[in-house]
Structure 1
Amino acid sequence: MEQEILKEMKAVFTEKFGDKTTRSYFSPGRVNLIGEHTDYNGGHVFPCAISLGTYALVADRDDGKTRVYSMNLADKGVIEFSMTGLAYDKAKDWANYPMGVVSVFEQAGHACSHGFDIVINGTLPGGSGLSSSASIEVLTAVILNDAFGFGLDMVDMVKLSQKAENVFVGVNCGIMDQFAVGMGKKDCAILLDCNTLSYRYSKISLKDASIVITNTNKPHSLASSAYNVRRAQCEHALNELKEVKPELTALGELSNEEFNKLAGHIAEPLERQRARHAVYENNRTLEAVAALEQDDVERFGKLMDASHFSLRDDYDVTGKNLDTLAELAWAQDGVIGSRMTGAGFGGCTVSLVRNDAIPAFKENIGKAYTEIIGYAPSFYVASIADGTHRLG
């Protein structure tokens, strides 16, 4: 499969840029098993890198110009940009993600002395909430680090990639996406404390079950105002709690019991709900990882379901498409747990499904969802993969 993808990319590269010596790279997408909208609230997340992702073929140029071409967005053509002094340019569309990384590298003292010709080919569905943007950002960081020998470790590159999205692209995302993409490890999920960046790998032993990602095929825009509004609501709630608990630096530091005692100090009921999700989801994530490490997959599944309820009722980021997929999944035989994953407002659900039930899961949910929504979902059975790396 990988060799076929690279072979096809090589033909496209030669057509667009000529016959040159190329290097190849792969950067995964990510799915978050539990712990949603906790990352920017200083809580824990539990993502894993997946076998769907972004491939790149790269050739060095001898000038300061980079040309990029995406096989997924062929209508955008070849996009050119300089390797110095970049600013966001709406006309350059998806290329703003690699441009942002080049820009933050330069600002951090890692100036690039030449440009590249790059062909990109992604196996992640765009707008699905599987972190295609983070996949491209960390991919770019690894390409630059490799080409110029900057000597950055992966956590440094992850931080710069997040900065590119926050500062250059203007999306106020937390660090989870880039961290999972860069630091992924085969057959493991990552328990990450987003407040301290301390992390550990947890072996995922699903035995006779698999991770099934179901795409609503309703695109979401992460830059949408709703995401930044939720973030602002949580920040405001935190500031009100700090008035009575000055040492508090993040909602993720609170136990459920502490939050319940202090919640009355959040004046706005809607902000109280948002903060409750952030606190409860963080503690639910810790409980879920403990359950998985004790081989209690059933308990993990129940906590996934509870996560979706909270995202639906307290955080209000699910919507009809995601709720329909989750509700249909809960009714299927062989489903251990199912929830929305990613920012919400469209995108995907993640389900743990027993292997022998996967064909019926796809058939039944595909049919029912199409009847309710009016168009079909897409299904991906994902394996857990390594983080961004050079292939050859």
Structure 2
Amino acid sequence: MIHNKVKSYFEDNYLKNPILIKAPGRINLIGEHTDYNQGLVLPASIEKGIYFAVSGNKENNIQIESFLTQPEKIVFQLNGEHKAFESFWGNYFKAIIEILIAKNYPLKGMNCVFGGDIPIGSGLSSSAALCCGFIYAITQVSDKEISREDIALIAQAAEHKIGLNCGLMDQYAVLFGKKGNAFFLDCNDLSHKYIPINLDGYSWVLINSNIKHNLAVDSEYNKRRVSCENIVKQVQAYRPQVKSLRDISKDDLVKVKNKVNEIDIQRAKYIIEENERVLQMMQELTAGDAIAVGNVLKDGHWAMSTEYEITTSELDHLVKIGEELDGVLGSRMMGGGFGGCTINLIETKSLDENIKALLRSYKNKTGIDAEYYHLAIDDGVKVFE
């Protein structure tokens, strides 16, 4: 188990018994790209995660070592200075330390070893787990609490500093998740509640397309955000109280269609209808209607494919394959887009044969070996016993 490796490496190299912290990855049942439009989302934290083994030191620095894809040791001075580094994760930690210094947070010397089993670039929000877990680890060593709400804001600000203008869904899901429950979040006022996932006889599975994405490098994510903002500006001309797409209806889209380009209208329509799908998914989960849940998944995928245009041909193939299999109730691409995983609702009694059929057909169509992960819904960031 990766957490045992992280802990053992720390003990062997730093000769201390560390605090071990788990920051989970997250899935999103429905509600993609709605968060930065002050909309509705329905994520859940999962069993896979990133583990941080930490303890204080007297070196007046923060020493960090990774078990991820780019093993490296980085040393940050408590004033924020550091030597050049190569690993992508160093940019996240650099941004976090700079933000905490600007907030006059009382940093203390710390040794940190981390690693995890979240597949990087698969749409499971490894970056939010990385940021939220690291900030929480700092609080455990510095003995000065930061509320989970503020940890989310700091983690979001760190992602913004490195180029991804994300909303708060991922951070809130990672921090506030609850075992066995989906996490409904209203991104307008950050109110939230838990929705029990009651689908006896059915299992959740992720299929990793092995098409990697890097949203901070690929500006397509930010282009879609600009489209949404364009619509808001036009509607504000006659309804100044409007603050986001959350406040806009399809009637508004009709009124401004001659003042913006067609693609902006198309993307805004997707966001409005995706909010509706979140409410529908909550209703179907509460009722325990697995067939209806599967239909919401499928509707959400093809809207992402044809309207928001954030899927790939490989991900579309995975969903089409599932639609032809008995026992696969529904699936959709999950995450920011342009790669990653599909989330699939599959009848448990036919689980193994359907997974094999999905992987086999995907390989035949694309030449790519996909991977699968059974999903277990787990708690948010915590000290791991």
Q: TM-score, normalised by structure 1?
A: 0.93
Matches within 5 A, 1:282-361: 282-361=275-354
Cα deviation code 1:218-274 (max 9, x no counterpart):
11011111111111111112111222322211112334x434544525520011111
In the alignment, the residues of structure 1 paired with residue 91 and residue 253 of structure 2 have an alpha-carbon distance, to the nearest angstrom, of 43
Partner residue of 1:246?
240
* Contact 2:110–2:141, Cα closer than 8 Å, also in 1: no
Partner residue of 1:8?
5
Cα deviation code 1:188-244 (max 9, x no counterpart):
111111121111111111211111111111110111111111111111121112223
Matched residue type, 2:206? I
* Contact 1:84–1:111, Cα closer than 8 Å, also in 2: no
Partner residue of 1:70?
66
* Contact 1:237–1:266, Cα closer than 8 Å, also in 2: no
Cα deviation code 1:155-196 (max 9, x no counterpart):
1111111111112x2211111111100110101111111121
Cα deviation code 1:101-132 (max 9, x no counterpart):
222222223130x2222111211111111011
Matched residue type, 1:19? L
Say yes or no: does 1:100 pair with 2:95.
Answer: yes
Among 102, 107, 111, the residue aligned to 2:106: 111
* Contact 1:54–1:123, Cα closer than 8 Å, also in 2: yes
In the alignment, the residues of structure 1 paired with residue 85 and residue 188 of structure 2 have an alpha-carbon distance, to the nearest angstrom, of 32
Unaligned stretches of 5+ residues in structure 2: none
The runs of at least 4 aligned residues of structure 1 exceeding 6 Å deviation read: 87-90
Go from structure 1 to structure 2 and tell me whether the alpha carbon gap of 1:89 and 1:34 turns closer, same or farther (over 3 Å shift): farther
What SS does the aligned partner of 1:46 have? strand
Matches within 5 A, 1:217-232: 217-223=210-216, 224-232=218-226
In the alignment, the residues of structure 2 paired with residue 284 and residue 87 of structure 1 have an alpha-carbon distance, to the nearest angstrom, of 46
Go from structure 1 to structure 2 and tell me whether the alpha carbon gap of 1:361 and 1:280 turns closer, same or farther (over 3 Å shift): same
- Percent identity, aligned pairs only, is 32
After TM superposition, give the deviation of residue 87 of structure 1 in Å.
Answer: 8.7
Partner residue of 2:154?
160
Aligned residues: 384
Matched residue type, 2:51? Y
Matches within 5 A, 1:1-392: 4-15=1-12, 17-73=13-69, 75-85=70-80, 91-112=86-107, 114-167=108-161, 169-223=162-216, 224-255=218-249, 257-259=250-252, 261-262=254-255, 264=257, 266-392=259-385
Go from structure 1 to structure 2 and tell me whether the alpha carbon gap of 1:263 and 1:189 turns closer, same or farther (over 3 Å shift): farther
What SS does the aligned partner of 1:195 have? coil
Cα deviation code 1:294-316 (max 9, x no counterpart):
22232222111111111011111
After TM superposition, give the deviation of residue 36 of structure 1 in Å.
Answer: 0.4
In the alignment, the residues of structure 1 paired with residue 82 and residue 336 of structure 2 have an alpha-carbon distance, to the nearest angstrom, of 26
Q: TM-score, normalised by structure 2?
A: 0.95
After TM superposition, give the deviation of residue 25 of structure 1 in Å.
Answer: 0.7
CA RMSD, Structure 1 to Structure 2 (Å): 1.8
In the alignment, the residues of structure 2 paired with residue 206 and residue 56 of structure 1 have an alpha-carbon distance, to the nearest angstrom, of 33
After TM superposition, give the deviation of residue 63 of structure 1 in Å.
Answer: 2.2
In the alignment, the residues of structure 1 paired with residue 192 and residue 83 of structure 2 have an alpha-carbon distance, to the nearest angstrom, of 32
* Contact 1:36–1:281, Cα closer than 8 Å, also in 2: yes
Go from structure 1 to structure 2 and tell me whether the alpha carbon gap of 1:239 and 1:265 turns closer, same or farther (over 3 Å shift): farther
After TM superposition, give the deviation of residue 142 of structure 1 in Å.
Answer: 1.0
Go from structure 1 to structure 2 and tell me whether the alpha carbon gap of 1:94 and 1:361 turns closer, same or farther (over 3 Å shift): same
Matched residue type, 1:81? F
Cα deviation code 1:368-389 (max 9, x no counterpart):
1111111111100111000000
What SS does the aligned partner of 1:91 have? coil
Cα deviation code 1:308-360 (max 9, x no counterpart):
11101111100111111111112221122211100110011111111112111
* Contact 2:203–2:348, Cα closer than 8 Å, also in 1: yes
In the alignment, the residues of structure 1 paired with residue 29 and residue 154 of structure 2 have an alpha-carbon distance, to the nearest angstrom, of 24
